[in-house]
Amino acid sequence: MRMTSVGFKARILLALVAVSAGSLASVAHAEHSAIRLADSHRSSAVLAEGASNTLSATVFSKDRRRVIVDLELFGPGDRRVAQKYFNSVIGAGRQEEFRLETDPGLPAGTYYLSVGIFEPRWLGFLFPRWSTPIHWHHGVQTFRIYDSSPCEGDCEVKISRIVAAENELTVEFESPSSANLVLVDLELHDEDGNRVEQKFWDETSFKKGERKNFKLTTSSLLPGTYELSAGIFYPAWTGTAKWFDKVEKISVE
């Protein structure tokens, strides 16, 4: 009889714990859904060294609420390179945008923005490991900074050969005396100067003395005369290294 009584009490206690846990879970869910990250933006996905980027996060609140919104920028090696936080009151049913401007002195590499929403009693600026965020969004925006001079010395990539075959142009480039990381661009223009075909290869690497072939299809062209131009750019179109204008003329019949 005593064991039955203990078992009954144990079941009652477990039931109370389950109800309590369910209530806490419901409160936690309501807490999370009442305020949330609505959107995020970056002004540019790629930049050259020396340029700055504007990153933003928009937070929506169902009820009028005071929170701390924390923007953190991480760079190569997952090292935090910038942080800005805002102690803000967001009105009921409203959203507010928070911005972080990046330092133009950041070195080349890949960067990402993380966003945290904290209670006003947040201790992150003193004890970052002690604070539990309402929300933490990791890597909501990424961007890349390219070396403003990705070549060793001058960008010495040059055209070494052009082969015009049926429905295809093959352009061979070489880097005779230095290593390069570049964007290779091939363009065809008609007699009026209109660009009718283009293909490019970003982040193309050349070792010293290396040669590489790049092909451009001409099968979709109408009969006529066309001129080939080619460009060597810094990665992600962040600068022009060389432009080879009207290096080859082809006829399509």
Same domain, 52 and 135: yes
Which secondary-structure segment (H or E) carries 25?
helix 2-34
Bridge partners for 101 per DSSP: 54
Q: What is the DSSP string of 69-133?
A: EEEEEEEGGGEEEEEEEEEEEE-TTEEEEEEEEPPTTPPSEEEEEEEEEE-TT--TTT-GGG---
Residue 31 has what pLDDT? 52
Residue 44 has what pLDDT? 84
Same domain, 41 and 140: yes
Band of pLDDT at residue 18, cut at 50, 70 and 90: very low
Same domain, 129 and 83: yes
| Whether the predicted pLDDT of 29 surpasses 60 | no
Residue written as tokens 């090696």? 77
Bridge partners for 110 per DSSP: 144
Same domain, 68 and 142: yes
Residue 213 has what pLDDT? 97
* Domain with 76 in it: 35-146
Q: Which of 146, 181, 211 is the last residue of a domain?
A: 146
Band of pLDDT at residue 156, cut at 50, 70 and 90: confident
167 in any annotated domain: yes
Q: Which of 117, 146, 175 is the last residue of a domain?
A: 146
123 in any annotated domain: yes
Residue 6 has what pLDDT? 47
243 in any annotated domain: yes
Q: Model confidence over 125-154: pLDDT tens digits?
A: 555 556 788 999 999 999 988 876 666 666
CATH code (residue 90):
2.70.50.60
Q: Residue 73: what residue type?
A: L
21 in any annotated domain: no
Residue 88 has what pLDDT? 94
Average pLDDT on 13-40 reads: 59
Same domain, 118 and 162: no
Compute the distance between CA of residue 137 and CA of residue 56 in angstroms, rounded to an integer. 13
Average pLDDT on 68-83 reads: 95
Same domain, 134 and 169: no
Residue 166 has what pLDDT? 83
18 in any annotated domain: no
Residue 59 has what pLDDT? 97
DSSP classification of residue 29: H
DSSP classification of residue 235: G
Residue 165 CB partners (closer than 8 Å, separation 6+): none
Same domain, 194 and 223: yes
12 in any annotated domain: no
How many domains is the chain built from? 2
Q: Model confidence over 39-49: pLDDT tens digits?
A: 999 988 878 78
Compute the distance between CA of residue 238 and CA of residue 149 in angstroms, rounded to an integer. 10
Say if residue 2 is exposed, middle or buried (CB neighbours under 10 Å; 0-12, 13-18, 19+): exposed
| Whether the predicted pLDDT of 25 surpasses 70 | no
171, 214 contact by CB (below 8 A): yes
Ranges 202-211, 223-232, 233-242: which has the least confidence: 233-242
**CA triple 209-210-214, angle to 5 deg:** 140
Going edge to edge, which strands form the sheet with 35-42? 35-42, 54-61, 94-101
Q: What percentage of the chain's residues is helix, strand, coil (to nearest 5)?
A: 15, 55, 25
Compute the distance between CA of residue 128 and CA of residue 217 in angstroms, rounded to an integer. 56
Same domain, 41 and 111: yes
Q: How far is CA 23 from the centre of its chain?
A: 40
245 in any annotated domain: yes
Same domain, 141 and 178: no
Same domain, 135 and 164: no
Same domain, 181 and 210: yes
Q: Which of 146, 166, 181 is the last residue of a domain?
A: 146
Global confidence as pTM: 0.61
17 in any annotated domain: no
170, 213 contact by CB (below 8 A): yes
Tell me the pLDDT of the chain averaged across its residues: 84
Same domain, 58 and 80: yes
Which token pair is 39? 């959107």
Residue 230 has what pLDDT? 96
Compute the distance between CA of residue 189 and CA of residue 36 in angstroms, rounded to an integer. 50
